[in-house]
Amino acid sequence: MKLSNIIGGSKITRILYGSDFHGSEQVFRKFLNAANQYNAQVLIVGGDVTGKAMIPVVNEGNGVYVGYLFGRREEARTPEELEKVKRAISNVGFYPIVLEKDEAEELEKDRQKLDARFEEEMRKRVREWMTLAEERLAAQNKHLYFMPGNDDLASIDAEIEGYEHIHNPDMRRFEIVGGYELYGNSNANMTPWACARDLEEDELQKKLDQLAEMVQNPERAICVLHVPPVQSGLDSCPELDKDLKIVTQGGQVVMKSAGSIAVRNFIEKVQPLLTLHGHIHESPGHARIGRTLCINAGSEYAEGIMKAALINLEDGKVKGHLLIAG
């Protein structure tokens, strides 16, 4: 469905929605820029905002710093080159940490210190993002609803608090432009990796039942649910074996539905106007469950590609939606 480039009058509410940035500096900045480019009034991020790894950049002597990104040796001999290496690492969602040799050896030997440093780097980047976003949003009086996902540690939540134009919708209710209600849930059904916010389906169902009780006007409700509903077409991903390797048959990857039963139950029961999902990077698209439009924007963060959805709301209806990438 096509979207007009111009918002005519004050009745239309335009949302820019993205998810699963996984720490990518480049993707988050593109997302903020896209809000201006497409004249979005409301920005929503639907989870999995932190990265998956730290990359040490070690002083090998004589002022030569070396790091490895996707197995490729990255070398820096000047402060400018060092910044370039750090930027390349940050853009794909990893955390560069510049170390002396003895510091690198110490971290490698002490798992507790390593984990603490990793968490510190995750929190630091989210904090930097929030500072940047607040600065830009304040000038335009726009709001960002920024929610963690199942991959994100509980400590991340504290970095999203205390801003005038940034809010965490996880298990909360907000009123947004146009008289719509916004709700969120950051959890997922259990994954093979047992992530920080993974829950068994019955526990997730209990949380979503609580969320359902909060919804005041389903016909104008937008629910940001990190995991997609099961068997929706928004939750197809490669099947993994017991060793977490991709299953193939006849040279083709075997796909499976990895969404949540509890999320589908919630949507069927509450029937909100719109639900926004992430989690399954490979399944961008939209689906209908009853009167509810469900959207997964997808993710290609590791390639530095910002994937998002533009959604126009008018008079309590979705007037148009479009998946974008860039």
Across 303-311, average pLDDT: 97
User: Rounded to whole angstroms, what are the CA distances from 48 to 95, 168, 186?
Assistant: 15, 13, 9
23: its two tokens = 């720490």
pLDDT tens digit sequence for 228-260: 999 999 999 999 998 889 999 998 999 999 999
- Looking at residue 251, its pLDDT comes to 87
Hey, what amino acid is at 194?
Answer: A
Count the alpha carbons within 13 Å of 195 in the hemisphere toward its beta carbon: 22
CA angle 35/41/47 to nearest 5° reads 65
Q: In angstroms, rounded to a whole number, what is the distance separating the alpha carbons of residues 274 and 316?
A: 10
- Looking at residue 247, its pLDDT comes to 94
pLDDT tens digit sequence for 196-209: 999 999 999 999 99
**Domains assigned to the chain:** 13-52+114-325 (3.60.21.10), 54-101 (no CATH)
pLDDT tens digit sequence for 75-85: 999 999 999 99
Q: In angstroms, rounded to a whole number, what is the distance separating the alpha carbons of residues 133 and 45?
A: 12
- Looking at residue 11, its pLDDT comes to 85
User: Residue 189 gets which letter from DSSP?
Assistant: E
The reply to whether the predicted model has a pTM over 0.85 is yes
User: Rounded to whole angstroms, what are the CA distances from 85 to 18, 26, 70?
Assistant: 26, 14, 13
- Looking at residue 4, its pLDDT comes to 47
Across 11-39, average pLDDT: 97
The rounded mean pLDDT for the chain is: 95
pLDDT of 1 over the 80 cut:
no
**Other beta carbons less than 10 A from residue 3's beta carbon:** 17
pLDDT of 145 over the 50 cut:
yes
Q: In angstroms, rounded to a whole number, what is the distance separating the alpha carbons of residues 111 and 117?
A: 10
- Looking at residue 5, its pLDDT comes to 40
